[in-house]
Structure 1
């Protein structure tokens, strides 16, 4: 029998779109490039066709996402509840995620609206977006047949992160899995450039870098890469967030992945969220190109990760058309390469200098942006950068 559950939603600054009331019923029939492995046949959202038979190499579960058209409200909100009509087989999950727009390509982190527990986003917003997340064992699928959302402004809400953003030292492993499909529907290629984090709260859509990280190795090299997969051990461990708002494992300190606590301290009996014995303390997975070419790693290693969507400031999006962008020690191709910035990755721009004239996807320019101490990229390959001062 269909079940009805209460869930929740969020919002962000105004954009050009018709404003609406705090209660709305979204169109569940539209699928576009932001969606992966879903079908809306007959108005019901399910896992998609033959792709639903291809289980994740990590969890054995098929995953699909339907990202709905952003909805504009008359007033900012930070809390969204959802009424859902669904059918969810045993072992499957149907979740409603909410986020709010903060700027042109800036959003709050995704927050799940659970039964009786509205989603609360990190900052009030007028534009709210909903994502339907479906997971199931092979041969099964959840079914969403109706969704109604209600938003309001909570008396108190989590404050937005400061300019510096969150950064932690965690253990990194190499993802591999070439030819496999990531959680957001990207097919992994050789020498690929992206990362996986163990929570979909920071999962970017395929071909976008809304949620990106800066990951640096002990050798001084760094790569800026989009978050395109969920893993390596858990799928609901947003360890970078404060314990009070963490999805699971709330008794662990902020910045400590559950897998690390399980491996080093026997936390949860040494098991991950699926009951598997944790064989390493990984808090991030790196695609092969990020691992070998960006960071020049030869083995799994401790790295420092900055979760860039938690930071304020000026950002740009790497647009190379394919290969990763060289990051250099100065404003010239003659300067040493000290890292890479993946295509689609978001990078924080600190300031600009005048240097070598470069022609790229964004035109010809002699401006170079400093994106970290001693690390520069050409403006010719960075889109969406606002006004920044000179270094």
Structure 2
């Protein structure tokens, strides 16, 4: 049976303050997605005569430990002649029982930074936290057994009222979260990365903060009670849940809107018996984890020996200068001072985004970005060499 999921192009904003989407004459704001091509940014999906479905080898997110195959089709960014902050979608799809099709949208902030992915739902468009001139759309397909199929996707961008409780903070949102070690070497993450020994990435229980393979658009800073920190990209979805963006305000949270901001559903289920002590899949929650750490992050970056409470900062929710670690593959040493002889106080994984508080002059270092004596302070008492960090602009002197 074919179902036509409608996210109205003239949009449900007529239900909020009577807003009407602007006419299409104001620039190229209506378009039909090209579903004929699958490229390197896509994962777990195939296209046959313009119909998208899950690949036979589509991964099940390793961290979630749920038998739900997942795939993404990430469309090319779309640029407009005037700022927009909302995108509505009309999807033509066949969705079997146990399957789901979702349309996610994000906006470009400049300097390789993007807003978080926001879902355009059948009854409401995706509303971004700020107005942008470039947006990107991705299709997310999931299935327990038979794959859904998407044969059409029409999109429209416009301006809608923004939520008053969404906005970037200079340092980014930060919460104390229980962390577990993911392990699962040889498994495949939600973005298609095959986990290797001593790997460096994290998993969060929502695809809203999921980076594409080989990128760190969505990264976190994880700090342990021993003072060590690691900056790592989000490459998997889990633990426990897959629709629990607990770092967001209740008004925009995917599920569990009655929980306080910053409290994972698994933590509430484990500690308070919330949802009968179960996760979204009906499994009894055995620990309060809201983040999974790859082995290298767990053992080498944080020097943990057991699951532990950590402080997590969600880098993309911050503002100000930021860059991305670029190495040959190994993580970058984070030092207590602006010299390679200063003590190592953490790691920054390859591809990870780092927020730059300020910069100092120190030891000259040659790396992937050339030779420089500039070091960036990325947290109190923590420095990385500019020679291994790309894309930073506007950093001031410490």
Measured against the shorter chain, the TM-score band is over 0.9
Q: TM-score, normalized by length of structure 2?
A: 0.93
Counterpart check, 1:333 vs 2:348: no
Q: Does 1:181 align with 2:188?
A: yes
In structure 1, the gaps of 5 or more residues are: 10-18
Alpha-carbon distance in structure 1 between the residues aligned to 2:320 and 2:310? 23
Equivalent runs, 1:51-66 vs 2, <5 Å? 51-52=57-58, 55-57=60-62, 58-66=65-73
The secondary structure found in structure 1 opposite 2:7 is: strand
Choose from 102, 108, 123 the match for 2:130.
123
Query: Residues 38 and 367 from structure 1, CA distance in 2 versus in 1: closer, same or farther, beyond 3 angstroms?
Result: same
User: Are the equivalent residues in 2 in contact too, given 1:8–1:150 (CA < 8 A)?
Assistant: no
Are 1:200 and 2:207 counterparts? Answer: yes
8 and 72 in structure 1: CA distance in 2 versus 1, 3 angstrom threshold: farther
Partner in structure 1 of residue 389 of structure 2? 382
- Secondary structure, counterpart of 1:309 in structure 2: helix
Separation of aligned partners in 1, 2:111 and 2:45: 27
1:126-152, Cα deviation, whole Å (9 max, x unpaired): 1111010011124x2110000001121
Q: Hey, what does 1:144 align to over in structure 2?
A: 150
Alpha-carbon distance between aligned partners in 2 of 1:156 and 1:136, rounded to the nearest angstrom? 32
Deviation, structure 1 residue 20: 4.7
Q: What is the aligned counterpart of 2:142 among 135, 152, 171?
A: 135
The runs of 5 or more residues in structure 2 that have no matched partner are 10-25
Deviations 1:64-103, CA, capped at 9 Å, x for gaps: 1000001112221112111110011100111100111111
Match of 2:5 in 1: 5
Indicate the SS of the match to 1:280: coil
> For this pair of structures, how many residues does the alignment match?
380
Whether 2:164 is the aligned partner of 1:153: answer: no
Contact (CA 8 Å) 2:233, 2:349: kept in 1 or not? yes
* RMSD, aligned α-carbons: 1.5
Distance 1:20 1:84 in 2: 22
Question: How much does 1:56 deviate?
Answer: 4.2
* Among candidates 354, 361, 367, match of residue 360 of structure 1: 367
Report the 3-state secondary structure (helix = DSSP H, G, I; strand = E; otherwise coil) of the residue aligned with 2:124. coil
TM-score between both structures, scaled by the size of structure 1: 0.94
The CA deviation at 1:366 is: 1.3
Per-residue CA distance 1:220-267 (angstroms, 9 max, x = gap): 000000000000010000000001110000000000000000000000
2:231 is aligned with 1:220: no
Cα distance, 1:38 vs structure 2: 0.8
Equivalence for 1:319: 326
Q: Secondary structure at the match of 1:74?
A: strand
Q: C-alpha separation between the residues in 2 aligned to 1:337 and 1:189?
A: 23
Q: Does structure 2 conserve the Cα–Cα contact (< 8 Å) formed by 1:8 and 1:149?
A: no
